[in-house]
Chains A and B, each alone.
Chain A
Amino acid sequence: MRAASHPPDRFRALLADYDVPPNVADELLDADGAMRPVWVPFIEQLAALSPEEVGAHFARGDQYLRDAGVFYRRYSSEPQQERDWPLSHVPVILQERDWAGICAGLAQRAELLEAVMADLYGPARLVREGHLPAELIAQNPEWHRALVGVRPASGHFLHFLAFEIGRSPDGSWLVLGDRAQAPSGAGFALENRMATARVFPDPFPRANVRRLAGFFRAFREAMDRMPGAQGRRTAILTPGPGTDTYFEHAYIARYLGLVLLEGEDLIIRNGAVQVRTVSGPQPVGVLWRRLDAAFADPLELNETSQIGTPGLVDAVRQSSVNVVNALGSGLLETRALMAFLPKIAEVLLGAPLALPNIATWWCGQPSERAYVKAHAEGMFVSEALSRALPFDIGQASALGGALRGPQDQPFEAWIDANARDLVGQEAVTLSTTPAWVDGRLLPRPMTVRVFAARTPKGWTFLPGGYARIGRTDDATALSMQQGGSVADVWVMRDGPAAEETLFEPGSFRREDSGTLPSRAADNLLWLGRYVERSEGAIRLLRAYHLRLAETGNVGDPRLSRIADHLAELSLDVSAPVYTALEPSLSATRQCAGRVRDRFSVDGWAALSDLISSVAEVSGSLRPGDDCARALGILLRKITGFNGLVHENMHRTSPWRFLTFGRAIERADGAAAVLVSFAGEDITPGLLDIALEYADSRITHQRRYRIDPTRDTVSDLIALDAYNPRAIRFQVTSMRRIAEDLPFARVEGRVSAVLRPLLRLETDLAIANPADVTADRLRALRSELRDVSGGLSSTYLV
């Protein structure tokens, strides 16, 4: 064990338990136990705080992350499934000189990977000359034959890379893995920085920490300068909300002002990539791809993919779109490649690797296999074609000569039987860095993910990164697999670091608003509908339970009328509240999850709150009063969500589709309620239910000063121009939105949405209450379906 030697008194308490394991490099302490100067200002600051104050500081960072909507791992549309982001609040601090050495080595490595990629999708000289075994490429699922011979439009295959690095016991850095397919983590690095800045708000020592925004700005500009990018969209192509890193895709899209697309949003026409938007197809010049290549095109890549774009490979072949990184770049992540890269560097670059990678031996070669067997105790043996990082351990693997999982053969026989499919990798020891564990600083192993972007001036690096911190003090890389925490990385200058911003100071760009992708529009429309549908259901359910509380009689004709009406909406009044509301709420949740990048954090939080409170209130409710009261709470929460949306959302296409969805559902719901509760049948109390549904009892009392009659109720809920619950009011608001949508009038002809709305609006304006018969209402509902169909065919296909 190595402890801090002669720490100043003021640090003593903080470092009392900081014992570095033997033969391990440590970020905080040098080999003699002296604190590295780069850490001193930070440790000073930390030491000046009491443990309670430290806790309060850390809580601020955590609160920031929760407010920003950063959660761990499992992104889903199910807000409850998200876990707190595991921020290790103590940053990893690196000296700028040390950092410059890392970047120089990685810039060389980036060039090497580019050259390997160009060769393996081109002349394959590396294979022909025997520098790489043919089978490692030919049997590699990430070597896509459809892309062989295809040169990228920009002339480069790789534009954005990440490298997982660690520090060896001798203090030198080592590359553990290359990320070239669709590197993730840069957005999380940014969020870690924001959170850490709230934890340590004092200007010093942060003043000397290099800023991150410039890197993103440089990459955004580099994408804008790609061939054919001018005048076309630059988009992030995501696999969708089902992915762990979807939050990051949405986050970066928002941060950089890029449009977030899924494969389904794109169509390929005459070799050009277009995005389907509510303003018609629009050209796309750059796709920053975050989905694995195999899934990008079901026609020429993995044919089972449901999330790809048919014809994308063809568009790439015709050089009509820049894909970042080129399809097929996942090949470079192959573990076995590490065994050959040191030699390949000499062949392709004429120089040895400046920064070594983890020592790797492919067991398909006899002498390498013998070496792996002879040195099994310090070796991790695993699948040769795996793309996982060394500390992501899969099923078929062996550590220190011991096979994992149930195996029916000895280690050596296993290697011999599967030699060509296996690689041995040195079980490296990582450096440790301080982590705050139960009120004290302890050394924990770490790796750092470094991000690189190609710019016209060469590779540029995010001056910082995404550090993973191990959970125990076991410093072998393998301890990282148990999932520890993540930390910000500070690259410290000797003097203050320059401020950086995402945009050129004084400049601003304004995105045009007409490019809402059709799929997003569709989801917003249905989100509006489902929220409204849920609200309608809650109102009727509450009316039911209020009357049940009043009479205690389930056989009451008013109760059975409500039950029948809700049954038509597939809603069972006798089921517990949560079960009854589940279908429409889960549909709401799904739609919202798919357009999360268009929501404010507050809007998302309001929706999460609504859904979780349904689950909470639902448990022990008794039918009647209890339920009615709980449903009242839910109504107020829905109103809260609607309020946020309508107070805060820009009146551009997203708002239009969301509001249109709500309006059409509200008009339709009102018509259905009038048919059920204001029909020919004059069972007492039914009209009251209609008024209650439309939240119009008080207005009715004030306006008509008589008990409700069919005519007054029809007048108020169907024909009123000023009652926001009335059909006519909603038809007018739909008509206004339709006027503002693209293609509302083309060459004097009104759109397929506007036409039925104009007719309907006029009908309602001139109708008398007596005209509002059940038949007319049914016809009106069918006209609303025409409106919906017109909207779909004009904007959503």
Chain B
Amino acid sequence: MRYDITLSISHDYGVPSAHARTLVRLLPANLAGRQNVLSRLLTVEPRPDERRDGEDFFGNVMTTLAFHRPIDRVELTLKARVERLAAPPRLDLSSDLPGLAAEVAGYRGLEAGGPVHYLGASPRVAPDAGISDFARAQIGPGMTVLQVVEAVGHALHDVLEFDAEATDVHTPPSEAFAQRHGVCQDFSHIMIAGLRALGIPAGYVSGFLRTLPPPGQPRLEGADAMHAWVSAWCGVEEGWIEFDPTNACAVRRDHVAVAYGRDYGDVAPVKGVLRTEGPQTSSQVVDVRPLA
């Protein structure tokens, strides 16, 4: 499936800022065998004094923008054409939880694709007893890790209600879980916390969702803005799988990935620091259109 993606994000600053520096992670990723970027272009208005693309630890494209003059508004526009390939169906090769623990403990390596970064606490996902208990309750006898991941994801989808008003970008997962409301970021953070509590390495994926569903299917939640889902490590054989807890589905052809990390903090689409005070407002418009 091919998509044309357009995204525009604008920030308005009440008081013009003298120096601004922004890290942007918006360019869709090239993922061997799963996702090909046919074209991608990020435009920035007004024109930044500095602009450079680099790669972060996780392999995401990170665009650095800097302004050395007062600006009161920044507009980022992304246009991309991406081909999303559906992985062929395969057997569940994942081990059970004790087997996974042994594999993680024996894992030697610090590269981003290894499981060791995605356990324990990360800056925005602290362990939470409530989430841990909930996740533990989903384990059934003889389940493989992949089955556990799906069970936790489905169970969370059942108890959590999608609600764009209940949380904001800084809400910790414990709080969102306690009130059982949130958006894709909260769903994903809660699921990550749950999986990690079970010893399953889990990370955060930012990306896009097709705006309109294929004919006859319901519209997916989270298509109005950038989306997020979960990536989980199911052992050396099975490797990483991706699950979208907001829509209780495996990530296949309707998702376009942008960036991977431990939690939202690693992949935040726009991270900015301004030498200014005063109110800021921002808006986001997304369109993900399948090509005929």
Q: Are A270 and B50 in contact (CB under 8 A)?
A: yes
Q: Give Cα A270 to B50, complex, Å.
A: 7
For window 163-199 of chain B, which residues contact chain A by CB distance below 8 Å? none
Q: Give Cα A128 to B108, complex, Å.
A: 5
Q: What are the residues of chain B within 8 A of A137 when measuring CB–CB?
A: 110, 116
Q: Are B56 and A146 in contact (CB under 8 A)?
A: yes
Q: What are the residues of chain A within 8 A of B58 when measuring CB–CB?
A: 145
Q: Are A311 and B107 in contact (CB under 8 A)?
A: no
Tell me, rounded to whole Å, the shortest Cβ–Cβ distance linking A153 to chain B.
18
The answer, among B54, B68, B273, for a CB contact under 8 Å with A310, is B273
Closest-by-CB residue of B relative to A144 is B57
Tell me, rounded to whole Å, the shortest Cβ–Cβ distance linking B22 to chain A.
8
Q: Give Cα A227 to B119, complex, Å.
A: 39
Q: What are the residues of chain A within 8 A of B66 when measuring CB–CB?
A: 268-269, 311
Please count how many residues in chain A sit with their CB below 8 Å of the partner chain's CB atoms: 30
Q: Are B271 and A138 in contact (CB under 8 A)?
A: no
Q: Give Cα A311 to B68, complex, Å.
A: 13
Q: Give Cα A303 to B57, complex, Å.
A: 16
Tell me, rounded to whole Å, the shortest Cβ–Cβ distance linking B145 to chain A.
18
Q: Are A138 and B116 in contact (CB under 8 A)?
A: yes
Please tell me if A134 contacts chain B, counting CB pairs below 8 Å.
yes
Tell me, rounded to whole Å, the shortest Cβ–Cβ distance linking B28 to chain A.
22
Closest-by-CB residue of A relative to B118 is A138
Q: Are B108 and A268 in contact (CB under 8 A)?
A: no
Q: Are A314 and B64 in contact (CB under 8 A)?
A: yes
The answer, among B18, B21, B56, B57, for a CB contact under 8 Å with A268, is B21
Please tell me if A783 contacts chain B, counting CB pairs below 8 Å.
no
Q: What are the residues of chain A within 8 A of B111 when measuring CB–CB?
A: 124
A128-B108, A134-B116, A146-B56 known; A269+B68 contact, CB < 8 A: yes
Please tell me if B289 contacts chain A, counting CB pairs below 8 Å.
no
Q: Are A134 and B109 in contact (CB under 8 A)?
A: yes
Q: What are the residues of chain B within 8 A of A298 when measuring CB–CB?
A: 273
Q: What are the residues of chain A within 8 A of B120 when measuring CB–CB?
A: 135, 139
- What sequence of 0s and 1s flags, for each residue 115-159 of chain A, a beta carbon within 8 Å of any chain B beta carbon? 000001000100111100111011100000110100000000000
- What sequence of 0s and 1s flags, for each residue 287-319 of chain A, a beta carbon within 8 Å of any chain B beta carbon? 000000000001110110000001100100100
The answer, among B23, B104, B121, for a CB contact under 8 Å with A300, is B23
- What sequence of 0s and 1s flags, for each residue 311-338 of chain A, a beta carbon within 8 Å of any chain B beta carbon? 1001001000000000000000000000
Tell me, rounded to whole Å, the shortest Cβ–Cβ distance linking B204 to chain A.
14
Please tell me if A267 contacts chain B, counting CB pairs below 8 Å.
yes
Q: What are the residues of chain A within 8 A of B64 when measuring CB–CB?
A: 311, 314
Q: Are A267 and B119 in contact (CB under 8 A)?
A: no
Q: Are B117 and A129 in contact (CB under 8 A)?
A: no
The answer, among B54, B68, B119, for a CB contact under 8 Å with A135, is B119
For window 249-300 of chain A, which residues contact chain B by CB distance below 8 Å? 267-270, 298-300
Q: Are B56 and A299 in contact (CB under 8 A)?
A: no
Closest-by-CB residue of B relative to A300 is B23
Q: Are A299 and B110 in contact (CB under 8 A)?
A: no
Tell me, rounded to whole Å, the shortest Cβ–Cβ distance linking B133 to chain A.
16
- What sequence of 0s and 1s flags, for each residue 353-365 of chain A, a beta carbon within 8 Å of any chain B beta carbon? 0000000000010
Q: Are A124 and B109 in contact (CB under 8 A)?
A: yes
A145-B57, A148-B57, A270-B50 known; A299+B273 contact, CB < 8 A: yes
Q: Give Cα A600 to B271, complex, Å.
A: 42
Q: What are the residues of chain B within 8 A of A311 when measuring CB–CB?
A: 21, 64, 66
Closest-by-CB residue of B relative to A133 is B105
Q: What are the residues of chain A within 8 A of B19 when measuring CB–CB?
A: 267
The answer, among B21, B57, B110, B121, for a CB contact under 8 Å with A146, is B57
Please tell me if A497 contacts chain B, counting CB pairs below 8 Å.
no
Q: Give Cα A303 to B109, complex, Å.
A: 26
- What sequence of 0s and 1s flags, for each residue 253-284 of chain B, a beta carbon within 8 Å of any chain A beta carbon? 00000000000010000010100000000000
- What sequence of 0s and 1s flags, for each residue 50-94 of chain B, a beta carbon within 8 Å of any chain A beta carbon? 100010111000001010100000000000000000000000000
Q: Give Cα A267 to B273, complex, Å.
A: 12
Tell me, rounded to whole Å, the shortest Cβ–Cβ distance linking B258 to chain A.
18
Please tell me if B215 contacts chain A, counting CB pairs below 8 Å.
no
Main secondary structure of the interface of B (DSSP, over half): loop
Closest-by-CB residue of B relative to A135 is B116
Q: Which of A128, A134, A137, A268 has the most CB of B within 10 A?
A: A134
Q: Give Cα A576 to B159, complex, Å.
A: 59
Please tell me if B123 contacts chain A, counting CB pairs below 8 Å.
yes
Q: What are the residues of chain B within 8 A of A127 when measuring CB–CB?
A: 108-110
Q: Give Cα A303 to B169, complex, Å.
A: 13
Q: Give Cα A797 to B18, complex, Å.
A: 8
- What sequence of 0s and 1s flags, for each residue 104-135 of chain B, a beta carbon within 8 Å of any chain A beta carbon? 11011111101011011101000000000000
Tell me, rounded to whole Å, the shortest Cβ–Cβ distance linking B284 to chain A.
19
Q: Are A299 and B108 in contact (CB under 8 A)?
A: no
Q: What are the residues of chain A within 8 A of B116 when measuring CB–CB?
A: 134-135, 137-139
Q: What are the residues of chain A within 8 A of B110 when measuring CB–CB?
A: 120, 124, 127, 134, 137-138, 148
Q: What are the residues of chain B within 8 A of A146 when measuring CB–CB?
A: 56-57
Q: Are B108 and A129 in contact (CB under 8 A)?
A: yes
Q: Give Cα A563 to B105, complex, Å.
A: 73
Q: What are the residues of chain B within 8 A of A310 when measuring CB–CB?
A: 21, 273
Q: Give Cα A129 to B111, complex, Å.
A: 14
Q: Give Cα A394 to B19, complex, Å.
A: 41
For window 1-32 of chain B, which residues contact chain A by CB distance below 8 Å? 18-19, 21, 23
Q: What are the residues of chain B within 8 A of A317 when measuring CB–CB?
A: 54
Tell me, rounded to whole Å, the shortest Cβ–Cβ distance linking A613 to chain B.
36
The answer, among B18, B104, B123, B271, for a CB contact under 8 Å with A299, is B271
Q: Are A134 and B57 in contact (CB under 8 A)?
A: no
Closest-by-CB residue of B relative to A149 is B57
Q: Give Cα A110 to B97, complex, Å.
A: 41
For window 126-166 of chain B, which residues contact chain A by CB distance below 8 Å? none
Q: What are the residues of chain A within 8 A of B117 when measuring CB–CB?
A: 138-139, 145
Tell me, rounded to whole Å, the shortest Cβ–Cβ distance linking B276 to chain A.
11
Closest-by-CB residue of A relative to B116 is A138
Q: Give Cα A267 to B23, complex, Å.
A: 16
Closest-by-CB residue of A relative to B70 is A797
Q: What are the residues of chain A within 8 A of B121 when measuring CB–CB?
A: 139
Closest-by-CB residue of A relative to B122 is A139
Q: What are the residues of chain B within 8 A of A302 when measuring CB–CB?
A: 123
Q: What are the residues of chain A within 8 A of B123 when measuring CB–CB?
A: 302-303
Q: What are the residues of chain A within 8 A of B104 when measuring CB–CB?
A: 135
Closest-by-CB residue of A relative to B55 is A149
Q: Give Cα A240 to B252, complex, Å.
A: 50
Q: Are A299 and B119 in contact (CB under 8 A)?
A: no
Tell me, rounded to whole Å, the shortest Cβ–Cβ distance linking B270 to chain A.
11
Q: What are the residues of chain A within 8 A of B114 when measuring CB–CB?
A: 134, 138
Q: What are the residues of chain A within 8 A of B265 when measuring CB–CB?
A: 303
Q: Give Cα A145 to B114, complex, Å.
A: 13
Q: Give Cα A489 to B107, complex, Å.
A: 46
Closest-by-CB residue of B relative to A128 is B108
Closest-by-CB residue of A relative to B104 is A135
Q: Which of A129, A135, A138, A146 has the most CB of B within 10 A?
A: A138
Tell me, rounded to whole Å, the shortest Cβ–Cβ distance linking B231 to chain A.
16
Q: Which of A124, A139, A300, A310 has the most CB of B within 10 A?
A: A310
Tell me, rounded to whole Å, the shortest Cβ–Cβ distance linking A144 to chain B.
9
Tell me, rounded to whole Å, the shortest Cβ–Cβ distance linking A215 to chain B.
36
Q: Give Cα A298 to B123, complex, Å.
A: 13
Q: Are B21 and A299 in contact (CB under 8 A)?
A: yes
Q: Give Cα A134 to B104, complex, Å.
A: 9
Tell me, rounded to whole Å, the shortest Cβ–Cβ distance linking B240 to chain A.
16
Tell me, rounded to whole Å, the shortest Cβ–Cβ distance linking A125 to chain B.
10
Q: What are the residues of chain B within 8 A of A148 when measuring CB–CB?
A: 57, 110
Q: Give Cα A137 to B168, complex, Å.
A: 31
A270-B50, A298-B273 known; A139+B119 contact, CB < 8 A: yes
| Top-6 shortest CB links A-B | A138-B116, A145-B57, A310-B273, A134-B116, A310-B21, A124-B110
Please list 9 pairs of residues, one from A and one from B, whose beta carbons are closer than 8 Å in the complex, sorted by A's number: A124-B111, A128-B109, A129-B108, A138-B119, A145-B58, A146-B56, A267-B19, A268-B66, A310-B21
11 new A-B contacts at CB < 8 Å, known A270-B50, A299-B21, A303-B123: A128-B108, A134-B108, A134-B110, A134-B116, A137-B110, A139-B116, A145-B112, A299-B271, A303-B265, A303-B271, A317-B54
